[in-house]
Structure 1
Amino acid sequence: MAVRPVVITGNPVLHRPAARVGAFDDELRRLVEDMYETMDAAHGVGLAAPQIGVGLRIFTYAFQNDDDVPARGVLVNPVLTLGKISQDAPDPDEESEGCLSVPGYSWPLKRAEWVRVTGFDVEGRPLDFEATGWFARVMQHEYDHLDGKLYVDRLNDKWGRRARKAVKAEGWTADGSSWLPGVDEDPFGH
């Protein structure tokens, strides 16, 4: 098990759809263990394989929830069914997200308050559950990574302009930037 570098927004793997996992084997189990180690070292609530440079449809999560779902898990080849997303402006105090691949920043984004999640665990056993509230937000955020989208790609015009300006100012528009959780300074101040 090892902590892996988290790639930052300019990396192409973050902007293309990830491939389905075909084999539930020891290599997959090692990758998932590395993802847990990296997520924990980063103090994250989720981590998608593309965020560590691996273009596969996998994400881990660690989030206490009221949905009768384990607080820690992995989803392989997940599918999400979304509830309705309000068209109201997002609330900066209540709906701001951050991302390990846009480290140190957060911006408000509307998300569905309910999702149904299906997929598989690391052993290939089927999973099927519903998530609500912030847990639903975590599922949507990580799932977006598997489709080559970052949450900043979904921001409204006002917040999207601010995000693009920050990404440009940080020099993250090109490939080559990453940070190593547990070694580099924590960009979120944990």
Structure 2
Amino acid sequence: MTQRTVLRLGDPRLRQVSRPVERFGTPELHALITDLRDTMAACAGAGLAAPQIAVPLRVVIFGITVNPRYPEAPPIPETVLINPEITPIDRDRASGWEGCLSVPGLRGQVSRWRRILYRGFDAEGHPIERSVDGFHARVVQHECDHLDGVLFPDRLVDSRSLGFTEELEASGLLPVAGPLAPASPEHTLDRMRQQLERHSALEDLGPLFGPKAQGLAPGRDPS
């Protein structure tokens, strides 16, 4: 087993655009895939991209059966996807909680295509094509973002949804052990307002949440 170090947010290598794989079935490619698989398993991840272990190639791995970080997630077959392409099936999007091994301890609300078609190749160069939705679609989009230097905080529906996992769980904003459960950003912010009200903090933090936090209807001027 070879567990590699996972780069963390702030490392410039995570912001590089990765190169396509040109040769399939090589010992080097198989070694990379083994390292990705072992590292993902050791970190209890649902997926991992080659740039996260400092290899700027367009290779991702994902899959989940029983996972302590995602106990309620539906199973996803383990898949090695090389040189992937993603096409949304329709215009329907969904917001949900996301985290990342490269952004440890934090979660945030991210909007993704609900249904996608993804294409690519396996380690031997055989084509892969699948239509998926829900959690499966979210994981694939998240991992493929890494290949273009994009991390989930770049796609937050609202920066105010970003928080430490333990704090979000303790406040009831994030379901315990459900980091990618679907939820609307409006619901999340409403729960944040409720928590602040219980701590008598809304008057001081009114500008953070806008007119609604100050008891005004959206679009109404304070005067």
Q: Relative to total residues, which structure has the larger helix share, 1 or 2?
A: 2
Higher Rg of the two aligned structures: 2
- 2:208 alignment counterpart: none
Shift of 1:120: 0.3
- How many Å apart are 1:156 and its aligned residue? 2.6
Q: Give the match for residue 185 of structure 1.
A: none
**Aligned partners of 2:60, 2:120: CA distance in 1, in Å?**
11
Q: Please, which runs of 5 or more residues in structure 1 have no aligned partner?
A: 167-187
Return the offset for 1:98. 0.5
CA contact (8 A) 2:92 2:115 kept: no
Match for residue 195 of structure 2? none
Residue by residue over 1:43-95, the C-alpha shift from the partner in whole angstroms, topping out at 9 and shown as x without a partner, is 0000000011111100000135879xx61110010101124254x8x4xxxx1
Matches of 2:79 and 2:124 in 1, distance apart?
12
Q: Deviations over 1:94-146 (max 9, x none)?
A: x1001000011111111111110100001111101111101000000001001
Query: Which amino acid is the alignment partner of residue 11 of structure 1?
Result: D
Under a length normalisation based on structure 1, what TM-score does the superposition of the two structures give? Answer: 0.75
1:65-104 alignment runs, 5 A limit:
71-82=77-88, 83-86=90-93, 90=95, 95-104=96-105
Q: How does 1:51-70 map to 2 (within 5 A)?
A: 51-63=52-64
User: What does residue 20 of structure 1 align with?
Assistant: 20
Partner of residue 40, structure 2: 39
Q: Which has the higher relative contact order, 1 or 2, with Cα contacts under 8 A spaced 6 or more apart? A: 1
For the 8 Å contact 1:78–1:120, the answer to whether it is kept is yes
d(CA) in 2 for partners of 1:23, 1:13: 23
Contact 1:76–1:122 (8 Å) recurs in 2:
yes
Equivalent pair of 1:85/1:110 in contact (CA under 8 Å)? no
CA RMSD of aligned residues (A): 2.2
Alignment pair present for 1:144 and 2:151: no
1:8 equivalent in structure 2: 8
1:154: how far off?
Answer: 0.7
CA distance in 1, matches of 2:51, 2:160: 24
Q: Which amino acid aligns with 1:61?
A: F
- Contact (CA 8 Å) 1:7, 1:101: kept in 2 or not? yes
* Seq. identity, %: 40
User: 1:54 is paired with a residue of what secondary structure?
Assistant: coil
Report how many residues are paired: 156
Q: Distance in 2 between matches of 1:145 and 1:120?
A: 17
**Separation in structure 1 between the aligned mates of residue 92 and residue 155 of structure 2, nearest angstrom:** 12
Measure the CA separation in 2 of the matches of 1:158 and 1:60: 28
Q: Deviations over 1:13-65 (max 9, x none)?
A: 21121000111111000100110000000000000000111111000001358
